[in-house]
């Protein structure tokens, strides 16, 4: 299964070290392939280096493409993470 979704980042930490790390962990946990697009840049969602290079701060929009058996569950968790206005530990 392949799902795409545009998500607006509400997390005050943006897609920075801690949320970026959690994102990689989610992708690995569900064994899905994850692509994240911002503007013209597309990066592998399993690469923390790639995610950081997007420089996606709070309020920016990213286009998420999840592919794999558990794509739905993975996307749900990703949305929770990025749309959560509370900073994560």
Partner 1 sequence: MRNQLNKVLEGIPASPGIAIGPAYPYGKERFVLYRKKISEEDVPKEIAKFEEALIKTRQEILELQRNLSQKGAASDKIFEVHLLLLEDRMLIEDVIKELKERKFCVEYIFSQVLKKYINAFSQMGDSYIRERTADISDVGRRILKHLLGQDEGQPLRLEEPSIIVAHDLSPSDTATMSKENLLAFVTDIGGKTSHTAIIAKSLEIPAVVGLQIATRVIKSGDLLIIDGNEGKVIINPDTKTLRKYQKEKDRTIVEIQQLESLVGDLPAETKDGKKVIVASNIEFPSEVDSVISHNSEGIGLFRTEFLYMGRDDLPSEEEQFEVYRQVAERVKPYDVIIRTLDIGGDKFLSQIEMPKDMHSFLGWRAIRFCLARPDIFKVQLRAILRASAFGNVKIMFPMISCVEELKQAKSVLTEVKRELSRQKIKFNKNIEIGVMIEVPSAAVISDLLAKEVDFFSIGTNDLVQYTLAVDRANEKVAYLYRATHLAILRLIKTTIENAHNNGIWVGMCGEMAGELPLIVLLLGLGLDEFSVPPISVPKIKYVIRNVSFEEAKKIAEQALLLNSADEIEEFLSKRMKNILDRCISDNVCDVCDLTGLMPKKKRSKKRG
User: Is 75 an interacting residue with respect to partner 1 (CB under 8 A)?
Assistant: no
Binding-residue pattern over the window 10 to 49 for partner 1, x denoting contact by CB under 8 A: ----x-xxx--x--x------------------xx-xxxx
Q: Are 62 and 34 in contact (CB under 8 A)?
A: no
Across 1-89, where does the E strand assignment appear?
A: 2-8, 33-38, 41-44, 61-67
Please give the angle made by the CA atoms of 23, 24 and 28, to the nearest 5 degrees: 120
User: Is 50 an interacting residue with respect to partner 1 (CB under 8 A)?
Assistant: yes
Residues that bind partner 1 (CB under 8 A): 14, 16-18, 21, 24, 43-44, 46-50, 52-53, 55, 57, 89
């Amino acid at each position: 299964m392949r799902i795409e979704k545009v998500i607006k980042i509400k997390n005050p930490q943006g897609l920075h070290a801690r949320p970026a790390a959690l994102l990689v962990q989610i992708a690995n946990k569900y064994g899905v392939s994850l692509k994240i697009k911002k503007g013209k840049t597309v990066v592998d969602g399993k690469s923390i280096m790639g995610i950081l290079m997007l420089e996606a701060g709070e309020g920016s929009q990213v286009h998420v493409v999840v592919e794999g058996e558990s794509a739905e569950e993975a996307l749900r968790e990703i949305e929770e993470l990025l749309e959560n206005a509370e900073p994560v530990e």
